[in-house]
Every structure is written in structure tokens, then in C-alpha cells.
Amino acid sequence: MKSILFRDLGTASYGPCWDLQETYFQESLTRKSDNRKLPEQEQIPTVDRLLFVEHPHVYTLGKSGNLENLLANEEQLKAIQAEFYPINRGGDITYHGPGQLVGYPILDLDHYFTDIHRYLRTLEEVIILVLAEYGLHAERSPGETGVWLDVGTPFARKICALGVRASRWVTMHGWAFNVNTDLRYFEYIIPCGITDKSVTSLDRELKRAVSMDEVKEKVKRHFEAQFGAVLVPDPTDSLTLANG
């Protein structure tokens, strides 16, 4: 069974986490490039990783996103203590903040399946299965990436956003699952550029606070099952990042 190195970064600022992802991402790309020059028996496998993190308030805009979907100016962002980053994932604008479980898989899909559409649907399935354990029927919205509730009704709302980057079947970026998230921060953007649907969180749906540790364990278990892999502690877990 394939092993994936797991690391929980706790609460960490967006910039250092992005840098860390890029480091792991480039390591895998370099390893794949070097392996092509070697006999098969001398090739060194790429390392798969999964990072968990909660970010301080930050808005990120995907490479195909529209800056007009950020409704706050520089002064307003300062007033609400939020950062802004244009980044290199797919998708439009989204929010990250405390109480939101962000997952960054840096995977070599050559170890699993070389299909980005299937990869996104697999990440969605992880969250859908977690929500089912809380008695919530979540699903996909046709033509819209992410995990939703009450799809096809006037009450459709997103509970988990997804946005990824991939090169030579190596992935980075990932999902943002609203657990105990302050949804007021979504009022400063048009989330994912979608104007006719709202956002929600697990605590809003359940009408109670939810243990983040409990959610993390459920996500880890379903992630392992969906990818047919086992998460093992990353030996570099003692390294620290800048906290927000």
C-alpha cells in the first residue's frame, strides 16, 4: 500500500505554506525529470505528502480568476486583518481563515490515476463522506467544483471549495472545508465568482461547534480509503512555519 507523508501545520500564514508546497512540488518534478535519465532499477520514487493547516484570514485568487470578485480594497483588507494573494492554482477567488480545514495534497498521480477530473472528484468524495457521518447529504453541483448542500434548489450552498495545480501529474493546492468558519469574511468576495449561491459551514449546519480534531481524523480516514494509501507522520514535522 502506498504511503503518504502527513503533516499538520496547525495555524500558519499563507505565504510560508505556499512556499513549502512549492518546495515539495518542485522536488517531485525534479525527481521525475531525473528518473527519466536513469535505468528503472536506479530510479528513486517521488514522495507523496498531505498537509493540513488553518490559515489566518486571507483571500486567494486563482490564475484564471477575476480580481473584480474581490469586493474589499486595501484599506478594508487591513481593517479586517486579511491578506490577499494572487496564486497559481485553478479557480477564482476564495477565503481561508480560522476554523477552516485546508488540505494540501502534493501527490504524484502516476502512483494512483492520471486523470485530473477524477482527482478532483476523489477529493470531493472525501468531504462528502465526512459530511455523511454528521448526517448531512452533500453532493456535487454540475459544472461547479466543490462540495455543496441542497444542490438544484434556491438554497444551494457550498461547504468546501477546491482548487488545484498540476504539472506532469504532480499536484498542489487542494481544498478548503468550512468547519467552524466565520462566514462573514465571505461577504468581502464573490466566492469562486458564483453570484447565485451562498456558502455555509459545518457548525452552521449542525447548529453547534464541531471539534476540529474530530473532523481531521475523519478526513484522514476517508482520504486513505479513497486513495488506497496510508498516512504516516512526516519526519520533518518538527519544522515550524511562521504563524499568523
pLDDT value of residue 238: 47
Residues carrying an active site annotation: 192
pLDDT value of residue 63: 84
Give the pLDDT of the chain (244 residues) as one tens digit per residue.
899 999 999 999 999 999 999 999 999 999 999 998 888 888 999 999 999 999 999 999 988 788 888 999 999 999 999 999 998 887 788 999 999 999 999 999 999 999 999 999 999 999 999 999 999 999 999 999 999 999 999 999 999 999 999 999 999 999 999 999 999 999 998 876 665 678 999 999 999 999 999 999 999 999 999 999 999 999 875 445 544 4
Whose cell is 519544522? That residue is: 239
161 phi and psi angles, rounded to 5 deg: -100, 150
pLDDT value of residue 196: 62
What are the residue ranges spanned by the domains of the chain?
2-233
Convert 99-114 to b/e letters by CB count within 10 Å (16 or more is b): bbbbbbbbbbbebbee
pLDDT value of residue 64: 78
Is the CB of residue 192 less than 8 Å from the CB of residue 92?
Answer: yes
| Dist CA 157 CA 47 (whole Å) | 35
Q: Which CATH architecture has domain 2-233?
A: 2-Layer Sandwich (3.30)
Of 235, 237, 236, 231, residue with least CA distance to 2: 231
| Dist CA 31 CA 230 (whole Å) | 22
